[in-house]
A and B are shown apart, each in its own frame.
Chain A
Amino acid sequence: MNPVRHHAGWVIVVSFIVALMLTMMPLPEWARFVRPQWVTMVLIYWCMALPGRVSVGWGWALGLLLDVAHGSVLGQHALSLSLIAYAVTLLYQRLRLYPLSQQAIIVALLIFLQLLITLWVKGATGAAPDDLGFWLTALTSALLWPWSFMVLRDLRRKFKVS
């Protein structure tokens, strides 16, 4: 049995649902290339805040859902998100101490890693995009990180998620 009582797990689930919806929301053509990796950002936050609760398994399951939502090869996002969850779970103590700007840089690096894996999988299974715009989402995600971090932190405190 688990010795730790968990509280308000639904907040985590709802935040992931919202992130998935933001990922699928129709946007104009130019904006689709700069859409931040919402699911990855929310996953990074929860892995950092509650590493005992949200970790590799969540990343993997979310990755599968994201694969279906994106229409990509099953396992592509599952691979990258479980690796990101693993990295954050290893680094969470350090990440929590960083100022937001520094966290944003780490987020950009993690999403760069995700894009690298995506590129590799796409290259192995079909056509890899040769457009530089492919890497833009790492930048936009990092720019939006401080804001989404504060929203998620306030949610966590308000509903006492643990």
Chain B
Amino acid sequence: MLRRCRIKLLFTQGPSITVRAGVFVLLSLLIMFLDHRQHHLEAIRAGLSVLIYPLQYAVSVPSRLSIWAESSLSTRNSLIDENRALRERLLEQEIRLLKLAALESENVRLRALLQSANRNWERVSIAELLSVDFDPFKRQILLNKGSNDGVVEGHPLLDAQGVMGQVIHVSPLTSTAMLITDPSHAIPVQVNRNGLRAIALGTGAADRLDIPHIPNNADIEVGDLLISSGLAHRFPVGYPVAEVVAVERDPRQPYARIVARPTARLEQAREVLLVWGADEMATTPPAGETTAPTGEVKPAQEATP
């Protein structure tokens, strides 16, 4: 009885629950509008990210422990074997790099002759993934580097096999990146064989990209490598993005149905490369260019034939 009275008394204080609910609902709608349309709330998101960073870190500890255990409990022999294999691979790669240096300088000379712009993507830094789950219907990852390490919104993300995605939210300690398979992601690509331009759209599935708006008679085949075309000035030029795995040409449809599989190991990666462009280091891009997904979708109209 006493308890009931207390609760009643409590409810008579301040505005009624319905009024409070109404205020909070309106506030939520306002916040959604500001966040989605205006991108004004990145500072608030960054602040809250710092607040939940300890939780995210704690959650990712078990998988970190397993990685640590894996590396510290491996036997001496297997380490020696691995070391030898890595040495051999390094030697092989270095020999290839020797050739690359010559090719690169030749490329620069040829570009200078053609007077076309040459964009260098030089500086690379490695970020580790924190194993934290997001919304299962999105493809996002959490990185252990944030604005303190110079990461900015829109930063391209690579792994050793290809393009992975781009950074969409930055907080001081962490940053959230959207993979190229996220349903709201689009990346301008071109076919490596003949330079045919296209857009690769994420589907939400882990190993599938859709290539829309390619006419039935376009020259694209299963097995073609799609590389980033750099048209949006977001991703570096010429990195592998995906491989075409299915082409369906139906004469009744205006466009062919083309499916590609990302070359980067999006789901297994533990480390990713953040790439800084040479011109990006010199001049910071204008603020309007850094709005993540909308800026990327724009070239869709330009690139479709």
Name A's B-contacting residues (CB within 8 A).
2-4, 17, 20-21, 23-27, 29, 32-33, 35, 51-52, 55-57, 59-60, 63-65, 68-76, 78-79, 82-83, 85-86, 89-90, 121-122, 125-127, 129, 131, 134
By a CB distance below 8 angstroms, the chain A residues around B34 are 74
Are B32's CB and A24's CB within 8 A?
A: no
Are B204's CB and A127's CB within 8 A?
A: yes
Choose among A32, A56, A85, A127 the residue that contacts B183 (Cβ–Cβ < 8 A). A127
Least CB separation from A74: chain B residue? B35
Are B137's CB and A129's CB within 8 A?
A: yes
By a CB distance below 8 angstroms, the chain A residues around B169 are 71
Least CB separation from B184: chain A residue? A126
Task: Point out which of A35, A90, A129 has the most chain B C-beta atoms below 10 A from its C-beta.
Answer: A129
Interface flags for B49-82 (1: CB within 8 Å of A; 0: not) read 1011001101110010000000000000000000
Are A26's CB and B32's CB within 8 A?
A: no
Q: Give Cα A51–Cα B18 distance, bound, in whole angstroms.
A: 13
Are B184's CB and A82's CB within 8 A?
A: no
Are B133's CB and A121's CB within 8 A?
A: no
Task: Name which of B6-14, B249-257, B275-283 contacts chain A.
Answer: B6-14
Are A86's CB and B21's CB within 8 A?
A: yes
Q: Give Cα A2–Cα B14 distance, bound, in whole angstroms.
A: 11
**Which are the 10 A-B pairs with shortest beta-carbon distances?**
A75-B31, A75-B32, A79-B28, A86-B21, A127-B183, A32-B136, A74-B35, A52-B10, A82-B24, A26-B131
In angstroms, how far is the closest chain B Cβ from the Cβ of A123? 12
